[in-house]
């Protein structure tokens, strides 16, 4: 049995679900908005979860594909919401060995500044970075980096943008909402799909926009990733507790590979279609 954390509303959740179904592999959605019945204990032998009225023993689940976690829907009171969240997330943490990826890895990605620090502390080249809601610190960082910086959310959910002089006129808004600032690495985007089992698929994304996600017509070509950078990808995954990841790298005009972030629940279907890499097959092989 495979569990997909997500729903048919999310394309990649449904895509993996359907691929498993066509291979006659039993699969169920775990949509956190529809709070499941859970029986969990430290011993674990008779642990189960009920999804769509089917009791599934945890020992019979071979893999969990983490695609989209909606969180627990707020109910009748704060206490009920807190208890449901704690119960479900305790369960999700308990099945970390079979999860691609774990709740802890997903939570770490939501703290992008911390993810960057872990990489830098372990010898991985990242852009110069600050997370701040201090307008003076923002202006100082902007000047120190020759006015060539980008800004993006600390948690994610919006496109990366270039900071401009006129943005400083509204810098006071930082007090209410901090952001992440980084030196802008002029070059091309590299996306790497890496698995702890050793498979690494790299492609260069040729986009007309600063954030390649904003360019629907971006071209993706296979990229021959140097062995050292491949090793760095696997090192990053180990540091961040990832079994697989979509790792974003910027290849500078001077030929330097600069790591941006590692996504624990990446989209991959378009990338696979453009490059021919067997990402789906590799993911499913690991799940089963």
Mean pLDDT over each residue of the chain, to the nearest integer: 91
What pLDDT shows up at residue 169?
65
What pLDDT shows up at residue 263?
95
CATH for 109-122+186-287, options being 3.40.190.10, 3.30.470.20, 3.40.50.150, 3.40.50.720 = 3.30.470.20
Enumerate residue ranges in the chain where pLDDT < 70: 157-158, 169, 171, 174, 207-215
pLDDT tens sequence across 247-274: 999 999 999 999 999 999 999 999 999 9
CATH for 2-100, options being 3.40.50, 1.10.260, 3.30.700, 1.20.120 = 3.40.50
CATH code assigned to 129-183: 3.30.1490.20
Instruction: Give me the count of residues in the chain.
Output: 288
What pLDDT shows up at residue 40?
86
What pLDDT shows up at residue 208?
62
What pLDDT shows up at residue 213?
60
Which residue ranges make up each domain of the chain? 2-100, 109-122+186-287, 129-183
What pLDDT shows up at residue 155?
77
């Amino acid at each position: 049995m495979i569990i997909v954390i997500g729903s048919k509303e999310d394309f990649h959740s449904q895509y993996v679900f359907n691929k498993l179904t066509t291979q006659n592999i039993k699969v169920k959605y775990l949509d956190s908005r529809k709070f499941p019945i859970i029986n969990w204990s430290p011993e674990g032998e008779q642990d189960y979860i009920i999804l769509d009225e089917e009791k599934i023993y945890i020992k019979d689940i071979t893999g969990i594909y983490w695609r989209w976690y909606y969180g627990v829907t707020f109910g009748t009171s704060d206490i009920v919401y807190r208890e449901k969240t704690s119960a479900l997330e305790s369960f999700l943490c308990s099945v970390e060995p079979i999860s691609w990826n774990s709740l802890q890895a997903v939570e770490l990605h939501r703290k992008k500044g911390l993810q960057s620090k872990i990489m830098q502390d372990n010898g991985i080249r990242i852009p110069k970075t600050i997370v701040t809601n201090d307008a003076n610190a923002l202006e100082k960082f902007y000047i120190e980096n020759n006015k060539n910086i980008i800004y993006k959310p600390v948690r994610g959910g919006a496109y990366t943008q270039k900071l401009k002089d006129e943005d400083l006129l509204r810098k006071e808004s930082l007090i209410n909402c901090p952001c992440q600032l980084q030196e802008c690495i002029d070059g091309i985007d590299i996306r790497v799909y890496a698995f702890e089992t050793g498979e690494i698929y790299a492609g260069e994304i040729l986009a007309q926009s600063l954030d390649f996600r904003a360019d629907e017509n971006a071209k993706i070509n296979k990229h021959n990733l140097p062995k050292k950078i491949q090793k760095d990808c696997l090192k990053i995954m180990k540091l961040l507790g990832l079994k697989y990841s979509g790792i974003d790298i910027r290849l500078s005009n001077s030929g330097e590979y600069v790591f941006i972030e590692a996504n624990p629940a990446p989209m991959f279907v378009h990338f696979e279609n453009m490059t021919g890499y067997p990402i789906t097959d590799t993911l499913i092989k690991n799940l089963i």
